[in-house]
Amino acid sequence: MSVHKRHGVTVNGEGPFTMVFAHGFGCDQNMWRFLEPEFRKRYQTICYDLVGSGESDLSAYDFKKYATLHGHASDVLEIIHEFAEHPVIFVGHSVSAMIGLLAGVAEPDLFAAHIMLGPSPCYINEGDYTGGFTRADIDGLLEALEGNYLGWSSTMAPAIMGAPGQPELGQELTNSFCRTDPTIAAHFARVTFLSDNRIDVGSLDAPSLVLQCSDDFIAPLSVGEFLQQTLPNGTLRIIDNVGHCPHLSSPAASIDSINEFLAATLDPRSVER
Amino acid sequence: MSKGDGPLLPDWETLFDRAACGLLVAEANGTITHVNKTFCDLIGIERESLVGIRRFQELLTIGCRIFHQTHWAPLLQMQGSIAEVKLDFVHAAGHSIPIVVNAVAREYSGSVYHEIALFVARDRHVYEIELMRARKQAEEHLAQQTQARAALDLANARLHLALEAAQLHVWDVDPETHERRLAPSVALLMGHDAPCPIDAAQLRAAIEPDDLEVAIAEFAQLLATSDGVYRCVFRVNGIDGVQRTVQATARALAEGDDGQIGHVVGLMQDISELSQQRAAAEDRALFAEQMIGIVSHDLRNPLATIMLGAEFLQSAGLAEDDKRVLLNIDRSVGRANRMIADLLDFTAARIGHGIRINANSIDLHALVAADVDDLSVAYIGQEIIHERIGRGKCRADPDRLSQVIGNLVSNAVAYGNGAPVTVTSRIGQDAFQIAVHNGGSAIPPDVLPILFKPMVRGTKSNTEKRSVGLGLYIVSEIVGAHGGSIDVISSASAGTRFTATFPTVRHVMGPKKRKPAGPKREGKSNSDDPVSG
């Protein structure tokens, strides 16, 4: 099984950097539809599906390998080695921000910068740390996922109810987004929401942007503050947005923040449009 | 209410409010702008507490809210609609309600709104749980089946290895055609270098013609019986010019109640070497038996001649010195005769068909008394006491009993300390016994377990009194042939007692062919006479 087929890798654009986009739990690479086209104008861009999500090869989901985020981090490194032609700007949403962090700690030379959308190194409250959830909350999620067995499959191919203002979506609706096997979804949820990578955060030396929503149920502001304080080279930006997906609900603000960060961080010649 | 031509329906707001499902409109961030009464009733919260105050997602359980944020909301944003997702809502009373949610995103005056329809899904929820349970069960069964199959494969592999190692070749019978189906390895039995397909006709053609009829008959017999066991040995003429002896076995397994033959499974095995070895062993045994028979017989004739000559000389009136020489001759001939008798008994017991018993009704006490009298004469200077206990008739071979008594007393005198030897004859209800007791040192413990084996002696010293070591073996064989048993108790303080126990009621077993090998009461004219030593 090639890396390309395993992850449904799509490569676009050309430029002095390679931007790798990694989606979060519950979705697939389709969620980069508003962001990635903006950056392929000046960088090489790579989008992919995590194994177990979207168009990835579900048969490659090794429950043992993916029992921790390190399994996904090793996939990131494989993808970069095979497809990236330049230093990597890793854009990770939610759990993938931490996957990128683990990959960056393992092979720092590959990465020029990390951009983390709604990241959280640990979802469960512990002592002074406020992740936003109790263990019981997470157990409730896992139960909800297991109880929504039909939900996973039926939502994957929803009835077309019209998409006003976004006619281009109508065509794509015949496809299904974010499709996965419910058993894998439940496993990935368990791995994601029980992960604790706080100890690794201090080891990422590359410049990092933490992009947080002003009102995010999944990653509260306290988490963003923890990351800014703990990342050796971290910047925190808050976007005025409700929800966990600023790249979908506030793409323009997200792009502005990213550009601003890259301009300040990278060689100016590379950032010019 | 509308008037005139229109139907008599309430206005749209009322219809919206009382719709048969929950209806709700929210801003893109989830803030509720419209909600109907159906939904308010459903979750037990007043409209006033919802509109402009609560966000749609805040009505969910926390677990579902994570699901909503990570999956539902991005999907709605990307697709513009989403259908049939089940979400758990928290009722004002605290319990959760499973609700199936359809949503569509629409833009009005530059702002996106989510129009949401909500259906209670308690039954679907229950059904889903049942489905999941069933699926889980099915998966478990599948796993079990996979495991069982793997175990079966392993067992098969092991069986094949074992069959190969043991050089066993499988065959079975086609239940339709009743034709034999042979494993390819049967080819090896027919002289092929490697396994190859062989059919029953090929095998039949290779079977030695003399054996074929029996093989066919046995096979027909197997098929005729519902639970038959088949065993047939035939020779196979191999294409390599080698004739092999093959043993074929099989078992028919009845199937169903009608006793019809279901499956017949069998094995074939090359037993050429085995049958050759067996034949060779039989040859050797026969030869040894004949040899000993011939030697013993041929020795007896010259011994009889010597005996006759000695008797003749005795009557001729010899000088005292010459009479002593004659006595020595007489004694040695007696001893040689006894050894020949022992050898013949040994041969019969060990190689041949066992010691033969001619059981008759006997008066045990009288028989033992006569023997003790005779033995007292033979062992001058050794007191031999006879004890009799109980009464009644017994059934045994009298000559063989005398042989037992003679051998045991001979041992008692040889190994005793000169104190009286006691011979006890005891008749009980179920058994009778002959016991011989002597004083003196105990039999060494390491000798006890092998005492009744041939060529064993209680001592290593090699004096005139010792025999060839067959005495106790023959005694135990004789007792065994009567269906009895012999045991020994030996200690320094209590001396040594051999006890032979014979059943009174049991059928006495004996061989059929062999001539009685034991000489008659030769132990009486004992040449181990201590007087002459």
Band (pLDDT 50/70/90 cuts) for residue B517 is very low
- Top pLDDT among B531 and B74 is at B74
Q: Which two tokens stand for residue A96?
A: 């993938």
Facing A161 at nearest CB: one of B81, B88, B112 = B81
Please give the pLDDT value at position A147: 65
pLDDT for B185 equals: 87
Residue B523 has pLDDT above 50, yes or no: no
Q: For residue A79, what are the CA distances in angstroms to A48, A61, A85?
A: 9, 16, 11
pLDDT of residue B529: 37
The mean pLDDT of B170-176, rounded to a whole number, is 82
Predicted ipTM?
Answer: 0.83
Interchain CB contact of A243 with B (< 8 Å)? yes
Q: Confidence class of residue A223 from pLDDT cuts 50, 70 and 90?
A: very high
Q: Is the pLDDT of residue A116 over 90?
A: yes
pLDDT exceeds cutoff 70 at B464: no
pLDDT at B286 over 70: yes
pLDDT of residue B86: 84
Chain B residues inside the 8 Å CB shell of A245: 73-74, 77
With cut-offs at 50, 70 and 90, classify the pLDDT of residue B83. confident
Whether residue A217 and residue B71 make contact (CB cut-off 8 A), yes or no, is no
Judge whether residue A154 has pLDDT over 90: no
Neighbour-count burial for A39-59, b at 16+ CB within 10 Å, e otherwise: bbebbbbbbbbbbbbbbbeee
Instruction: List alpha helices for B207-271, DSSP H.
Output: 209-224
Distance from the first to the final alpha carbon of chain B = 149
The most confident of the ranges A168-177, B140-149, B183-192, B311-320 is: B140-149
Residue B138 clears pLDDT 80, i.e. is over it: yes
Q: Can you say how many angstroms the Cα of residue B444 is from the centroid of all Cα atoms in its chain?
A: 38
Q: What is the pLDDT at residue B260? A: 61
Q: What is the pLDDT of residues B419-442, one digit of tens each?
A: 899 999 999 888 999 999 998 888
Residue of B nearest to A154 (CA): B84
pLDDT of residue B457: 57
Shortest distance, CA B55 to any CA of chain A (angstroms)? 10
Summarize pLDDT for B178-192 with one digit per residue, the tens.
788 888 888 888 888
The verdict on a CB contact (< 8 Å) between A142 and B63 is: yes
Contact A147 B125 (CB under 8 A): yes
- Confidence grade of residue B250 (pLDDT, cut at 50, 70, 90): confident
Per the residue annotation, which of A216, A247, A250, A257 is the catalytic one?
A: A216
What is the signed CA dihedral for A147, A153, A156, A158, rounded to 10 degrees?
-90
Provide the residue type at B66 as one letter.
Answer: I
CA distance, residue A119 to nearest chain B CA (Å): 12
* Residue A4 bears catalytic tag: no
Query: What pLDDT score does B518 carry?
Result: 39
A180 in contact with chain B, both atoms CB, cutoff 8 A = no
Region B330-350: what's the mean pLDDT? 78
**What percent of chain B has a predicted confidence (pLDDT) above 70?**
87
Nearest CA distance, A247 vs chain B (angstrom): 10
Which of the residues A23, A114, A187, A244 is marked catalytic?
A: A244
Strand order across the beta sheet in which B485-491 lies: B384-389, B421-427, B431-438, B495-503, B485-491
* Probe site for chain B from A23, A242, A250, A254 (most B CB atoms < 10 A): A242
Q: Which of A28, A32, A63, A150 to mutate to test the interface with B (most CBs of B within 10 A)?
A: A150
- Give the rounded percent of residues in chain A with a pLDDT score beyond 70: 85
Does A46 score more than 60 pLDDT? yes
The answer to whether residue B28 neighbours chain A at the CB level (below 8 Å) is: yes
Closest-CA distance, A24 to chain B, in angstroms, reads 8
> Does A63 lie at the interface with B, CB-CB under 8 angstroms?
no
Beta bridge partner(s), residue B232:
B248
Nearest to A144 among B61, B82, B129 (CB): B61
CA separation for the pair B460, B123 (Å, rounded): 97
Residue B465: pLDDT above 60? no
Take residue A29 and report the two structure tokens written for it.
């690479």
Q: CB B86 to CB A151 under 8 A?
A: yes
pLDDT at B533 over 90: no
Best residue of A217, A242, A245, A250 to probe chain B, by most B CBs closer than 10 Å: A217
CA-nearest residue of chain A to B115? A161
Residues recorded for chain B: 533
- Asked if A164 lies within 8 A of B80 by C-beta distance, the reply is yes
Q: A15-24, A97-106, B169-178, B222-231: lowest mean pLDDT where?
A: B222-231
Question: For B444-448, which contacts have Cβ atoms below 8 Å and span 24 or more sequence positions?
Answer: B448/B488, B448/B490
- How far is the alpha carbon of B58 from chain A, nearest alpha carbon, in Å? 10
Q: Which pLDDT tens digit goes with each residue over A131-142? A: 999 999 888 888
Contacting B residues, span 130-169, partner chain A, CB-CB under 8 Å: 131-132, 135
| Interfacial A residues in 159-178 facing B (CB < 8 Å) | 159-166, 169, 172-173, 177-178
B64 touches chain A (CB under 8 A): yes
Helix (H) or strand (E) holding B488: strand B485-491
pTM of the model: 0.56
